[in-house]
Structure 1
């Protein structure tokens, strides 16, 4: 039986569709494999066989960050990394998070010169981390400082009274689980928290005194929570020079690092396959990859900080009109 013309046309359309979807499937698989390779081996690929300056960005609110600590550990061991630039733009965060990164940076600095390049902000735990480096470069209008520690807790007792909620509790001792947002704070509770804060404050001051060319008295005078512009910070010896990444590279050159080496950013690994795939597809399509930074851009990550904080969070940002 002769095949009708419309059947021939249908078969040709079907073949074209099948060919298109086969090509699309191969392209998607290639993107996924490439993204997976970048996620698993991206840092190692960046640092294998090619001498370079490693750049690590420390941005947003600082918390305990195992991935960042592991990345800094690999940088410390990499023979192709000749120098390190920490690009810092952070209001601070938890004292424990800052302490852990401080120690990791000092381990890197044992074998490689490390310089901090401050962007908009290096305050509180952000400045703590900057002080772990061997040299700090800041912009003239950068915000630097806010050396200090705080603990914040809400008091919702007034709200509870309005909605008719009463809390009953049985505990082993008066200071257990205090201060609590469900009870008015007592003098004993405030004294306990203040003693803890002052101990961590002394520790923070000690770090700055150890790392900066300042006496104990000078550090104490600067550690009243004040923030400074980059120019003021330079005058107060909280930073070493003014400028940007090029000035950081120039300082590395004084430590024997070839200034012509390429600066390669050691980026954060993505945590999930689905996010990785979405990120790869976004890049392939020329779209911005907002997933990892969306909450930080909103400032929502600071809401959930727990424990003692070394963070600077003014009501309004400083803007240049």
Structure 2
């Protein structure tokens, strides 16, 4: 009886040891994959990949994304990147966010050919970023355009009257902290906002005029907030060609980039060894649970709720409001 108990204990110890070494082996594999990925992207584990065409995805609502700007900076500095494909699928976002990415793309284009490939949508600030490229390719059914700027604010004065709430305050001047959702908007406040919006709109139009083969009059004709299919955009010179990534690569080849080079997507770097996911998120993905995904807010459109400043955004609230 004692020998049988000892055998059971030994087997349990052996299983624990096997489990330990399996975990160690898994960690070694994960580290090796992380090192290989980091080496391919020129990260801390290696000296960088061979010459390649970089690809960066710009998707969802655009804000001032420091990680994306840093990634574009590294692409600009990498001697291994021979050209860049911007894959754009965005309704736009903040004007300042679009401006920051636009400037980062133009810095890359100073030394490397850059082509934008529009997927479903490149509107407002999304099109602003596309115009930073040297060449724009869109699908025939892509949505392009919505050139314009807006500022939005709610008016809850009727609700306050209904529930019996009144806001009082003391301010240094009539336009301080205006417009406010708690007071009716005056003509003076509207004039201030319109001047602000039109100044940014004039800047946006000038940017498109500078980057596209269009006169100012031709830009103004399409800069009324209208959206166009890829085919319509081609007729209006808002894009240069129709197709997908293969067409973008063909254009890069015409600029001296070897078409046989690998296209490597530069993705967001993480703060840890497990890529762009935290350990909990990685486990959730493995289990098929996406609730912990960092893209959840974007998927339900919640990221648009928290945009500040002037917007260059097509359909900012599920179609209720336009440019």
Calculate the TM-score normalised by the size of structure 2. 0.90
**Offset at 1:140?**
0.2
Determine the C-alpha separation between the residues in 2 that align with 1:189 and 1:163: 26
Structure 1, 24-33 or 234-243: larger mean CA deviation: 24-33
Return 5+ residue gaps in structure 2 as ranges.
none
Structure 1, 286-295 or 6-15: larger mean CA deviation: 286-295
Aligned to 1:89: 89
Alpha carbons of 1:272 and 1:62: their partners in 2 closer, same or farther (altered >3 Å)? farther
Tell me the SS of whatever aligns to 1:67.
helix
1:16 aligns with 2:18: no
Determine the C-alpha separation between the residues in 1 that align with 2:37 and 2:5: 48
**Offset at 1:47?**
8.0
Aligned to 1:319: none
Aligned to 1:146: 146
Determine the C-alpha separation between the residues in 1 that align with 2:25 and 2:142: 44
CA deviations 1:155-184 (Å, max 9, x no partner) are: 111111222221111111111000011111
Determine the C-alpha separation between the residues in 1 that align with 2:229 and 2:81: 31
Higher relative contact order (CA 8 A, sep 6+): 1
CA deviations 1:107-143 (Å, max 9, x no partner) are: 0000000000000000000000000000000000000
**Offset at 1:271?**
4.7
Aligned to 2:237: 237
**Offset at 1:9?**
3.3
Aligned to 1:77: 77
Alpha carbons of 1:288 and 1:71: their partners in 2 closer, same or farther (altered >3 Å)? farther
CA deviations 1:234-257 (Å, max 9, x no partner) are: 000000000000000000000000
1:304 aligns with 2:306: yes
Q: Does structure 1 conserve the Cα–Cα contact (< 8 Å) formed by 2:123 and 2:144?
A: yes
**Offset at 1:295?**
1.2
CA deviations 1:7-42 (Å, max 9, x no partner) are: 123313321331243134414543664576578766
Tell me the SS of whatever aligns to 1:175.
coil
Q: Does structure 2 conserve the Cα–Cα contact (< 8 Å) formed by 1:148 and 1:224?
A: yes
Structure 1, 145-154 or 274-283: larger mean CA deviation: 274-283
1:102 aligns with 2:102: yes
Tell me the SS of whatever aligns to 2:141.
coil
- Please list every run of at least 4 consecutive aligned residues from structure 1 whose deviation after the TM superposition is greater than 2 angstroms: 27-43, 270-283, 285-290
Q: Does structure 2 conserve the Cα–Cα contact (< 8 Å) formed by 1:106 and 1:132?
A: yes
CA root-mean-square deviation: 2.4
Q: Does structure 2 conserve the Cα–Cα contact (< 8 Å) formed by 1:47 and 1:81?
A: no
Q: Does structure 1 conserve the Cα–Cα contact (< 8 Å) formed by 2:53 and 2:264?
A: yes
Aligned to 1:26: 24
Aligned to 1:182: 182
Alpha carbons of 1:252 and 1:116: their partners in 2 closer, same or farther (altered >3 Å)? same
Calculate the TM-score normalised by the size of structure 1. 0.90
Return 5+ residue gaps in structure 1 as ranges.
317-321
Determine the C-alpha separation between the residues in 1 that align with 2:72 and 2:185: 41
Q: Does structure 1 conserve the Cα–Cα contact (< 8 Å) formed by 2:39 and 2:49?
A: no
Alpha carbons of 1:64 and 1:224: their partners in 2 closer, same or farther (altered >3 Å)? same
Tell me the SS of whatever aligns to 2:42.
helix
Determine the C-alpha separation between the residues in 1 that align with 2:41 and 2:115: 20
